[in-house]
Amino acid sequence: MFQESSQKPLIVELMDISKQNESILKFFISGIGKKVFNIATNSAEVEAYIIDYDFPGAQAHWDNNYADSKIPRIILSTENHQVDRAVWVPKPLSSKNLIAAATSIKELLKESPLPSRKINNTEDDIGEDIMPIKPKTTSNLDKKTTTTPKSSTFENKKLLAPLITSDNPVKHSKNIATAKPKLETQKVFKKNVKTPEEIKLEAEQRENRWQELCGNNSDYTASSEVSRYVPENHFIGKLIAGVRLAKQSQQIVEVQSKPHSVFILPNEHLIFTQILIDNKDFIAFSRSEVKLGEMNLHILSSIETGKLELKMSEQPEHIHSLESFMWTNSLLASQGRLPATLDIGKKTALKYWPSFARIEAFPYSMRIAALWHHSPDTLFEMSSKLGIPQRYVFAFYNGADALDLIERDPKRVKQQMKTKPKKKGGGLISRLFNRLLKGGGSS
């Protein structure tokens, strides 16, 4: 490591570094790195350059002007540059790597010191013969003529293009005047004022939808009373089996249903179906019982896959997120009932949170996820801990079950119980949470 006490700082000059990055480097050098680096006050004292090879033209600038220089370099870049008398520091830069680079340069200078130089700022200084042309710490782009790096693939057109060209100044001026402002200035803080009737109607519609998804059962006092259903007897059972097959085979699977089939794309996590999902028919479809021999699973051949891809490109409105489709379908089928085979007294855990920004949320759904993930428990206990109606916990269970997000292995459930939430922030977290709820979102 750099011997801070015994070694003098390495005197460096920053070359071809953007102003912003130069400021941050100087911030580092004046703080944590002050015992390791010093910025040169004149070219004669420079022991090393720090050069950003990702900066447009930086490498060409060096090659054209400093190729014969004996002064070593610290090359900052996202790409590996192993060159003579240089130390590469990969981005992201870290204090540790910069200090290590300084140490390497110091060692290099010990092995092959620079020719002695006289500190003199006059132009006829003999040092100018030894030293390369004084490098500029300002960017290449500040120059009147910009050196275009031979090997660089960087597109500099935008930076070099004038805002208003002489051949069509009016058009460009108009463009500037009518150009859309940047996104940050586009935000309109307008209030969407709704009438009391509209608010009431919206609340009723929301409540109805939640009933469709979670049912309207009252809480049960005994587990034996809980209303049950058999997922395998519904479309959701076939869909779950289809997803399993699709994931195993890594092929598109068709659930052959009427009036339209449902296609499962396992890698893309997509569903394609011409069944309309935002109407009463879909609710009926989800709840109806599947007869024996109906809704067979079929792995698509390459020809069928090609045809499907074409159809999907023509009808993108029939493409759905797999997670969202399965979640909604599962909830509509179960209506707050629980699977017939579920041992209600057994503790389970939520392995992963569902993708809440895409699934259809209902009251307390996110709270259930948080609690269940951190504190595996029985469904009755979770409802009791959260102080919420059981039907919401049951609905969440069904959705998570369809998405294979539940951990049932007792050992793993126990392991998950060990990961406790941090519980930081106190009342502010609750107030922020409520503030966000008022502004729309999940629950």
Partner 1 sequence: MSVVNRKIIFTGPVGSGKTTAIVSISDIPPVTTDQNASDMTKKRKSDTTVAMDYGVINVSENERVHLYGTPGQERFDFMWNILTKGGIGLILLMDNTRQDPYQDLKFYTGAFKEFIEEQQMVVGITRMDLQRTPNIDNYRKWLDELGYSAPVFEVDARSRKDVSVLIQGLLLSLDPGVSS
Enumerate the H helices of 163-234 as residue ranges: 169-178, 183-186, 196-214
Determine, following the binding rule CB under 8 A, whether residue 93 of this chain makes contact with partner 1. Answer: yes
| Nearer of residues 161 and 177 to partner 1, judged by Cβ | 161
Site for partner 1 in 57-76 (CB under 8 A): 76
Site map 240..259 versus partner 1, x via CB under 8 A:
--------------------
What is the spatial distance between Cα 80 and Cα 78, in angstroms, rounded to a whole number? 7
Q: Which stretch binds partner 1 (CB under 8 A): 7-15, 36-44, 129-137, 435-443?
A: 435-443
Residues whose CB falls within 8 Å of the CB of residue 220, separated by 6 or more in sequence, listed in order = 226, 390
Min CB(260)–partner 1 separation in Å: 22
Q: Which stretch binds partner 1 (CB under 8 A): 86-94, 168-176, 219-227, 406-414?
A: 86-94
What is the spatial distance between Cα 328 and Cα 285, in angstroms, rounded to a whole number? 12
Determine, following the binding rule CB under 8 A, whether residue 175 of this chain makes contact with partner 1. Answer: no
Radius of gyration of the chain (CA): 33
Closest CA to 352 of 301, 397, 400: 400
Determine, following the binding rule CB under 8 A, whether residue 24 of this chain makes contact with partner 1. Answer: yes
From the list 3, 8, 30, 32, which residue makes contact with partner 1 (rule: CB under 8 A)? 32
Determine, following the binding rule CB under 8 A, whether residue 209 of this chain makes contact with partner 1. Answer: no
From the list 164, 276, 310, 432, which residue makes contact with partner 1 (rule: CB under 8 A)? 432
| Nearer of residues 113 and 441 to partner 1, judged by Cβ | 441
The tokens for 309 are 């891809």
From the list 7, 11, 18, 38, which residue makes contact with partner 1 (rule: CB under 8 A)? 18
Min CB(336)–partner 1 separation in Å: 21
Residue with token string 């120059």 = 143
From the list 196, 259, 293, 440, which residue makes contact with partner 1 (rule: CB under 8 A)? 440
CB atoms within 10 A of CB 90: 14
Tell me the backbone φ, ψ of residue 55, rounded to 5 degrees.
-75, 135
From the list 159, 201, 284, 310, which residue makes contact with partner 1 (rule: CB under 8 A)? 159
Q: Which stretch binds partner 1 (CB under 8 A): 143-151, 209-217, 230-238, 348-356?
A: 348-356
What is the spatial distance between Cα 395 and Cα 281, in angstroms, rounded to a whole number? 21
From the list 13, 54, 254, 401, which residue makes contact with partner 1 (rule: CB under 8 A)? 54
Note whether 428 and 382 are within 8 A (CB): no
Q: Which stretch binds partner 1 (CB under 8 A): 6-14, 47-55, 199-207, 335-343?
A: 47-55
From the list 268, 281, 294, 309, which residue makes contact with partner 1 (rule: CB under 8 A)? 268
User: How many residues of this chain interact with partner 1, rule: CB under 8 A?
Assistant: 69
| Nearer of residues 16 and 47 to partner 1, judged by Cβ | 16
Residues whose CB falls within 8 Å of the CB of residue 377, separated by 6 or more in sequence, listed in order = 347, 371, 385
Half-sphere exposure of 152 (CA within 13 A, CB side): 16
Tell me the three state secondary structure of residue 10: strand
What is the spatial distance between Cα 140 and Cα 233, in angstroms, rounded to a whole number? 71
Element of type H or E holding 380? helix 379-386
What is the spatial distance between Cα 414 and Cα 342, in angstroms, rounded to a whole number? 19
| Nearer of residues 182 and 258 to partner 1, judged by Cβ | 182
Determine, following the binding rule CB under 8 A, whether residue 157 of this chain makes contact with partner 1. Answer: no
Residues whose CB falls within 8 Å of the CB of residue 350, separated by 6 or more in sequence, listed in order = 369, 372, 373, 376, 400, 405, 406, 407
Q: Which stretch binds partner 1 (CB under 8 A): 24-32, 37-45, 192-200, 338-346?
A: 24-32
Site map 291..330 versus partner 1, x via CB under 8 A:
------------------------------x-x-------
3-state secondary structure 108-176: HHHHCCCCCCCCCCCCCCCHHHHCCCCCCCCCHHHCCCCCCCCCCCCCCHHHHCCCCCCCCHHHHHHHH
Determine, following the binding rule CB under 8 A, whether residue 357 of this chain makes contact with partner 1. Answer: yes
| Nearer of residues 282 and 433 to partner 1, judged by Cβ | 433
Min CB(325)–partner 1 separation in Å: 13
| Nearer of residues 160 and 230 to partner 1, judged by Cβ | 160
Residues whose CB falls within 8 Å of the CB of residue 103, separated by 6 or more in sequence, listed in order = 1, 2
Min CB(26)–partner 1 separation in Å: 12
Determine, following the binding rule CB under 8 A, whether residue 13 of this chain makes contact with partner 1. Answer: no
Length of the chain: 443
State the residues that interact with partner 1 by CB under 8 A. Answer: 18, 20-21, 24, 28, 32, 52, 54-56, 76, 78, 91-95, 139, 141, 154-155, 158-159, 182-185, 187, 265, 267-270, 321, 323, 352-353, 355-358, 366-367, 369-371, 373-375, 419, 421-425, 428-437, 439-442
